[in-house]
């Protein structure tokens, strides 16, 4: 009897041990938390990112059978302003008749945009009938031909959405700035806006004054305080380019009631680019201690580096960010130019990186804290890719969904990797035809890998 009881006890013990072993093996192990040791401070260096910054200007004159081009390309600039003169297709210029854009002209437009895409740059585009953009007025063709030209161009724009930051509606008046023309009226401008919105997909369409937006919406300035453009409205993509920026109390006629209109316009610039040209060197509105609050309020994305030279490259290079300007203490003593350059558009700083994983790496979690310290918002979604690089330099990539500018980014992955050390990177880019383009760089020191076009976020170690 004793032997039987002993046998039962031993059998029970063996079963219990077996169950415990199975539980240890089969039950998921609790992940450990690994705080990554990185530099989480903002770099003070220039960081070139898609769709923003000081821009250089490129000029193109289109003819029926060729184009004359003067294209800028500079390692220090991400954004380029394409100013395309199509005056030869207006009877007021060629002396004969209004003409549709030829296949040759359209091919030239596509080739130029494709060139900037190949170079990894972005463009803002404006067309005009002003000869060589020299300030000529009343050279437009009949309105219906303007609409025809827009309809001819839009299929090209739709093919290059990742490259095109915005379309400045233009077409009318000197420099395509939509004024000083006999047809610079609400009826014509509404038709131009309609043509762009109806024939483009997702691209921002920018006009010269808020009044042009009100006219299109069928409201007046007295209606704007409580007026919100809904996401499902075509006008949700309708914004502003300001080529009289900070030039006077009205920005040279841009605004009727500046403070009121800026408050309303800020709702649109939360999801659209906003930029232009700083003007009037004698104005005090672009003093560094005065201009920053409105730059933040309007989510300023881009400015012309070349105009006005006396402000951008002289005044701002010789004035300084101080305590009177704001609380960014790391920038105290830096030039106004450096501060504004580093704030145009979005500027993402990695503030924290945490990994959670267990020994078998079946569950791998990433938690990132990202701060946008720029004037502008992150309005164009990006594809997320997590790249694992092993100890001998071999790598593989896992997709992580979409990034919309979140300050807290949490990813749960199940990488099929061996138990070894890995460097881990995040790539935020636009994936087209299986290729990653227009990658976003974090504004941290020594964090962006130019070979991978990705940001280093930590290490898996065993």
At 8 the pLDDT is: 55
Closest CA to 146 of 107, 199, 108: 199
CB within 8 Å of 80: residues ≥ 6 apart: 55, 56, 57, 58, 71, 72, 73, 116, 121, 122, 123, 124
At 191 the pLDDT is: 98
Residue pair 312/278 in contact by the 8 Å Cβ criterion: yes
At 215 the pLDDT is: 98
Residue pair 126/176 in contact by the 8 Å Cβ criterion: yes
At 13 the pLDDT is: 57
**3-state class (DSSP) for residue 311:** helix
At 416 the pLDDT is: 77
pTM here? Answer: 0.93
Three-point CA angle 145, 147, 148, nearest 5°: 60
H/E stretch holding 395 reads strand 395-403
**3-state class (DSSP) for residue 80:** strand
Mean pLDDT by 10 residues, the chain (462 residues): 56 61 52 94 98 98 98 97 98 98 98 98 98 97 98 98 98 98 98 98 98 98 96 97 98 98 98 98 98 98 97 98 97 98 98 91 91 97 97 94 97 84 97 96 97 97 86
At 30 the pLDDT is: 67
Residue pair 44/73 in contact by the 8 Å Cβ criterion: no
d(CA 138, CA 92): 8
d(CA 198, CA 208): 19
At 235 the pLDDT is: 98
Sign of CA pseudo-dihedral 43, 45, 50, 54: positive
CB within 8 Å of 123: residues ≥ 6 apart: 79, 80, 81, 82, 113, 116, 163, 164, 165
Helix 143-159, helix 103-118: angle, nearest 10: 40
At 418 the pLDDT is: 76
Q: CB 249: neighbour CB atoms within 10 A?
A: 9
Instruction: List residues bridging with 174 in a β-sheet.
Output: none
> All domains of the chain, ordered by start, with CATH?
32-45+347-460 (2.60.40.10), 53-341 (3.20.20)
């Amino acid at each position: 009897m004793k032997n039987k009881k002993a046998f039962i006890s031993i059998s029970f013990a063996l079963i219990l041990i077996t169950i415990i072993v199975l539980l240890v093996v089969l039950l998921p192990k609790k992940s450990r938390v690994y705080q990554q040791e990185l530099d989480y401070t903002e770099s003070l260096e220039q960081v070139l990112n898609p769709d923003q910054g000081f821009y250089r200007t490129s000029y193109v004159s289109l003819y029926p059978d060729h184009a004359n081009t003067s294209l800028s390309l500079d390692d220090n600039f991400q954004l380029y302003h394409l100013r395309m003169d199509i005056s030869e297709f207006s009877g007021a210029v060629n002396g004969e008749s209004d003409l549709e854009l030829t296949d040759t002209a359209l091919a030239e437009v596509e080739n130029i945009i494709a060139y900037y895409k190949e170079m990894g740059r972005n463009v803002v585009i404006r067309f005009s009938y002003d000869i060589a953009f020299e300030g000529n007025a009343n050279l437009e063709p009949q309105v219906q031909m303007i609409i025809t030209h827009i309809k001819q161009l839009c299929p090209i724009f739709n093919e290059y959405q990742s490259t095109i930051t915005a379309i400045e509606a233009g077409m009318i008046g000197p420099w395509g700035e939509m004024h000083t023309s006999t047809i610079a009226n609400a009826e014509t401008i509404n038709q131009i806006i309609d043509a762009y919105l109806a024939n483009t997909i997702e691209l921002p369409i920018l006009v010269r004054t808020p009044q042009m937006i009100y006219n299109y919406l069928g409201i007046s300035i007295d209606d704007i305080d409580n007026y919100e453009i809904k996401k499902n409205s075509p006008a949700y993509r309708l914004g502003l380019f300001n080529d009289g920026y900070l030039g006077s109390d009205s920005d040279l006629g841009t605004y009727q009631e500046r403070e009121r209109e800026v408050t309303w316009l800020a709702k649109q610039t939360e999801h659209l680019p906003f930029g232009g040209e700083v003007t009037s060197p004698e104005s005090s509105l672009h003093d560094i201690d005065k201009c920053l609050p409105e730059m933040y309020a309007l989510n300023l994305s881009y400015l012309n580096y070349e105009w006005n030279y006396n402000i951008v490259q002289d005044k701002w290079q010789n004035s300084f960010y101080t305590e009177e300007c704001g609380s960014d203490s790391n920038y105290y003593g830096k030039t106004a130019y450096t501060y504004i350059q580093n704030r145009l558009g979005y500027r993402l700083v990695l503030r924290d990186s945490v990994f959670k994983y267990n020994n078998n790496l079946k569950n791998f979690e990433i938690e990132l804290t990202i701060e946008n310290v720029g004037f502008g918002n992150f309005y164009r979604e990006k594809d997320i890719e997590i790249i694992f690089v092993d100890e001998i330099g071999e790598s593989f990539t896992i997709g992580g969904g979409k990034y919309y500018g979140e300050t807290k980014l949490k990813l749960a992955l199940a990488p099929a990797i061996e138990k070894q050390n890995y460097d881990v990177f995040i790539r935020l880019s636009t994936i087209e035809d299986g290729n990653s383009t227009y990658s976003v760089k974090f504004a941290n020191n020594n964090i962006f890998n130019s070979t991978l076009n990705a940001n280093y976020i930590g290490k898996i170690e065993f």
